[in-house]
A and B are shown apart, each in its own frame.
Chain A
């Protein structure tokens, strides 16, 4: 069953891939545009570090590690569950009804709606910064620390996907798209580009316990930057990306409640 679903998903993704490649120039320009917009954002950061030297003791390559990890995770999450991001249109037009009558899970079909390739712009930008920071940090990259980075990014993909699913599920009640969720997605990325320790306590708690952004970014990165830290910190770092997965599962559960609650707009 699960293999069958995966195969179906890859067919969906393949179709989406081919259709976007039909407009090759458009794809290239969009990716390039995303690369430059996120790129100049980072240059702004570089300028601030030139002026101020450091931020609460964190250097640019250290902040670059946070920045790169969250950018790569977010870019991936924007590409894969893009269908949930544009989901309000399906509700408004009533097209969701068609999805419900097909003998496959609605979540899988929404997931397969679109695989947004242009996100490769942000992905590449984030990856370059991650690699640049990694080389500038002057720490020994062991297999375990690389694994931790990868796990943290995967946890981040789950977390942001969860937020997109959550935003889509809200539409079952509101019909309209809820822009406020953007605060959590785009705002979350903006926030996690810096170590969470620079923010005010209430804000830190929110992004640790309500939306567990700290677990896919701050804790793992901190463990990598301070390999000699307390062993309890190390344990938290390794376990915390799981919180991203847990968050996604909770959001999917919320989505299922929404599907049960759904009444068509009839249009």
Chain B
């Protein structure tokens, strides 16, 4: 366990050095948020009818999405992808470590460090200048942090699965390129899930992707509270467990058929 923890910490520290990239990310995401907020402003002033989210909730949802965008951009760690491609993955397998845990921890630190560096400034900027409201209650704030942490772990589990899919496709094409479309829709990053048509929401509800950002955001906004919030978090946990088991089984099968070319 200690080995994984120290990998996590050291990778995390390395990634914290990329401050210029984080600053650029913050500027880009704030710009994006300003544009999207204006678009939603315009939609909300065009229709007087009641909506599943109030205008302020929708704007807050958008800014939360900008702050935590990285949870929906699930790309395989370039180093690991290169290892699978050029065969040095064989060295990874000789280490006295569980390969799945190793990749999971790498994916986790790969998301966590940049996420922290981007989300904290964006929370501040959006809160001060652009109308990101505070959590609905203290309780909602606490549950939001818990749910966002599970969202982060879910992102790592999904990245681990995408990494494992490379054992079959090698070139890095295929699943890892086609998955983003589904993740974008069903996580709620394109349009907040509560604003989608009912039948799309029902599909989204049973998929793991809403656990990335939609569940934490709705808890934050107070849209999910009480027993509903608890159920949503339990569902997040169930999916997290399922994705990890799925990843471990797939990896075991992938390793069995893996042929590393010598050279």
Partner-B contacts on A (CB < 8 A):
23, 25-26, 29-30, 32-33, 36-37, 39-41, 43-44, 47-48, 50-57, 176, 178-180, 182-183, 187, 190-191, 194, 198-200, 203
Contact between A203 and B38, CB atoms less than 8 A apart: yes
B46 CB contacts on chain A under 8 angstroms: 52-57
A182 CB contacts on chain B under 8 angstroms: 28
Known: A40-B185, A56-B46. A29 touches B174 (CB 8 A): yes
Contact of A50 among B24, B177, B185, B197 (CB under 8 A): B197
Contact of A187 among B25, B35, B178 (CB under 8 A): B35
A216 CB, nearest partner CB in chain B, Å = 18
Query: Is B252 part of the contact surface with A, judged by Cβ < 8 Å?
Result: no
Determine the residue in chain B with the shortest Cβ distance to A38.
B181
B180 CB contacts on chain A under 8 angstroms: 33, 37
Determine the residue in chain B with the shortest Cβ distance to A54.
B46
Contact between A183 and B21, CB atoms less than 8 A apart: no
B24 CB contacts on chain A under 8 angstroms: 178-180
Partner-contacting stretch, out of B140-148, B188-196, B235-243: B188-196
Contact of B171 among A26, A40, A178, A203 (CB under 8 A): A26
Contact between B51 and A51, CB atoms less than 8 A apart: yes
Contact between A40 and B190, CB atoms less than 8 A apart: yes
Query: Is B2 part of the contact surface with A, judged by Cβ < 8 Å?
Result: no
A-B pairs with the 8 shortest C-beta distances? A36-B181, A179-B24, A198-B42, A44-B190, A44-B191, A33-B177, A183-B31, A52-B47
B74 CB, nearest partner CB in chain A, Å = 13
Residues of B45-69 at the interface with A, using a CB-CB cut-off of 8 Å, are 45-47, 51
A29 to B171, CA, bound (A): 11
**B27-49 CB contact bits vs A (8 Å, 1 = yes)?**
11001101110110011111100
Contact between B178 and A32, CB atoms less than 8 A apart: yes
Known: A40-B190, A44-B185. A180 touches B42 (CB 8 A): no
A203 CB contacts on chain B under 8 angstroms: 34-35, 38
Known: A26-B173, A198-B39, A200-B38. A176 touches B20 (CB 8 A): yes
Contact between A56 and B28, CB atoms less than 8 A apart: no
A127 to B200, CA, bound (A): 26
Determine the residue in chain A with the shortest Cβ distance to B169.
A29
Q: What are 12 A-B pairs with beta-carbon distances under 8 A?
A: A23-B171, A41-B190, A48-B43, A51-B47, A176-B20, A180-B28, A187-B31, A190-B35, A198-B38, A198-B39, A199-B38, A203-B38
A187 to B195, CA, bound (A): 23
Partner-A contacts on B (CB < 8 A):
20-21, 24-25, 27-28, 31-32, 34-36, 38-39, 42-47, 51, 171, 173-174, 177-178, 180-182, 184-185, 190-191, 195-197, 200
Known: A47-B196, A48-B191, A198-B39. A183 touches B178 (CB 8 A): no
Known: A25-B173, A56-B42. 6 other contacts (CB 8 A): A48-B43, A180-B27, A183-B31, A194-B39, A199-B35, A200-B38
A197 CB, nearest partner CB in chain B, Å = 9
Contact between B197 and A29, CB atoms less than 8 A apart: no
A183 to B29, CA, bound (A): 9
Known: A33-B177, A33-B180. A47 touches B191 (CB 8 A): yes
Determine the residue in chain B with the shortest Cβ distance to A195.
B42
A66 to B177, CA, bound (A): 28
A200 to B28, CA, bound (A): 19
A199 CB contacts on chain B under 8 angstroms: 35, 38, 42
A44 to B21, CA, bound (A): 29
A263 to B35, CA, bound (A): 38
Determine the residue in chain A with the shortest Cβ distance to B42.
A198
Determine the residue in chain B with the shortest Cβ distance to A203.
B38
A56 to B43, CA, bound (A): 7
Determine the residue in chain B with the shortest Cβ distance to A197.
B42
A40 CB contacts on chain B under 8 angstroms: 181-182, 184-185, 190
A53 CB contacts on chain B under 8 angstroms: 46-47
A150 to B51, CA, bound (A): 39
A47 to B197, CA, bound (A): 7
